[in-house]
Amino acid sequence: MYSYLNFIHSKWNKLLIYNNIFININLIIVVFFIFYCPFFFSQEKTIKNNVTLFFDYNTNAPNSINNTHYEDYYVDLKSYKNYRAAYGAGIGWGLSFKRIIHPNILLYLSPSYHKGFNSHVVYHKTDSTEKNGYIQSKQILLNPGIQLQVPIQRFYVIMQCGVIIPIKVNSTYKEEDSFMETKLEWNYSYNFNAGFQGGIGINVPIIRNLYLGILLHGKLCSFTLKDAHLERFDQNGVSLINDLDEYDKHYIYHEDLNNFSNNNLMNSKYDVKLAKDELTKSHSFSSLGIQFSISYEF
């Protein structure tokens, strides 16, 4: 089982690397054609302002998650060699409002909602035992950007890139451990630091002013934890959540941390700066997916 999960993890890391390369290459291509577009494309066939309804299916892989507060009272993470996201998936939907600024270039603003399924996190202990956790994420995002549409016979080749502006992001983390049949459930909220997205695909006309599209797209974000709430803590089939005080159930992660913040790790560290850096460090998030859309020109 351990070797199989290592194999999955290695393939997953390669996928995330390819996703990051994909976004960077896509950005370079779009920027290049924006500056040199008039020299390459005919003005005879032009695009129009349009609105697009889209649905996508994507990988959903938080590259890391901060669980350091666990070590305070019931899980000693120091006995674990590492932890990792093994696999995951998600769905999303939203609208894109696009306005033409050049015969082949549009600016777009795309509000969207994304929900991640159970991303599988595997913990490997130094004694070669394992335990598993699952992360479910929800994201409400605003995605402004620029899109290039190249007319080729009866369809358009699409290339786009932009940024990600988070409106609301949170996740639920569930874990089951054979030790005393422990079951945990945490709710996390996040602050994004930065985000980028890009894609390449095609639009095909079906009737007048109506197009079907397919887009291969990727996202790359970094974020910091805002806070965490413990919603469930069971051992041997008995709920112990009511035996914990608020100090143990609510953890704060933000730039205002100090010696009196409600966070055990923060308060137990002699070096306040070291503890603050540990709790507020950024984490990366990548996804790669396929987007299906229907667009109406006006």
**Tens digit of each residue's pLDDT (9 = 90 or more) over 184-197:** 888 877 776 678 88
Does residue 170 register a pLDDT over 50? yes
Instruction: Report residue 269's pLDDT band, with 50, 70 and 90 as the boundaries.
Output: very low
Instruction: Report residue 294's pLDDT band, with 50, 70 and 90 as the boundaries.
Output: very high
Instruction: Report residue 141's pLDDT band, with 50, 70 and 90 as the boundaries.
Output: confident
Q: For 228, how many CA atoms within 13 A lie in the half-sphere containing its CB?
A: 25
Is 19 within 8 Å of 218 (Cβ atoms)? yes
Strand 182-207 relative to strand 210-235, pairing: antiparallel
Report the C-alpha gap between 284 and 170 in whole angstroms. Answer: 14
Instruction: Report residue 202's pLDDT band, with 50, 70 and 90 as the boundaries.
Output: very high
Of all residues in the chain, the percent with pLDDT exceeding 90 is: 6
Give me the amino acid identity at 46. Answer: T
**pLDDT reported for residue 87:** 57
State mean pLDDT over 103-111: 87
**pLDDT reported for residue 3:** 41
CATH number at residue 165: 2.40.160.20
Strand 105-116 relative to strand 119-125, pairing: unpaired
**pLDDT reported for residue 12:** 44
- The pTM of this model reads 0.71
Could you tell me the residue range of the domain that residue 260 belongs to? 2-297
Does residue 233 register a pLDDT over 80? yes
**pLDDT reported for residue 293:** 93
- Mean pLDDT over each residue of the chain, to the nearest integer: 70
- Higher per-residue pLDDT: 229 or 110: 110
Does residue 148 register a pLDDT over 80? yes
Give the end-to-end CA distance of the chain in Å, rounded to a whole number. 55
Does residue 180 register a pLDDT over 60? yes
Report the C-alpha gap between 198 and 253 in whole angstroms. Answer: 30
Give the total number of structural domains in the chain: 1
> What is the Cα 276 distance to its own chain's centre?
24
**pLDDT reported for residue 260:** 52
Strand 130-152 relative to strand 89-102, pairing: unpaired
- Token look-up 């894109």 returns 96
Instruction: Report residue 201's pLDDT band, with 50, 70 and 90 as the boundaries.
Output: very high
Q: Is 14 exposed, middle or buried (0-12, 13-18, 19+ CB in 10 A)?
A: exposed
State mean pLDDT over 64-89: 43
Which of 137, 129, 218, 128 minimizes the C-alpha distance to 173? 137
Report the C-alpha gap between 216 and 152 in whole angstroms. Answer: 18
Give me the amino acid identity at 116. Answer: G
- Higher per-residue pLDDT: 294 or 195: 294
Does residue 93 register a pLDDT over 80? yes
Report the C-alpha gap between 272 and 232 in whole angstroms. Answer: 29
In the chain, how long is the greatest CA-to-CA distance?
Answer: 72
Instruction: Report residue 2's pLDDT band, with 50, 70 and 90 as the boundaries.
Output: very low
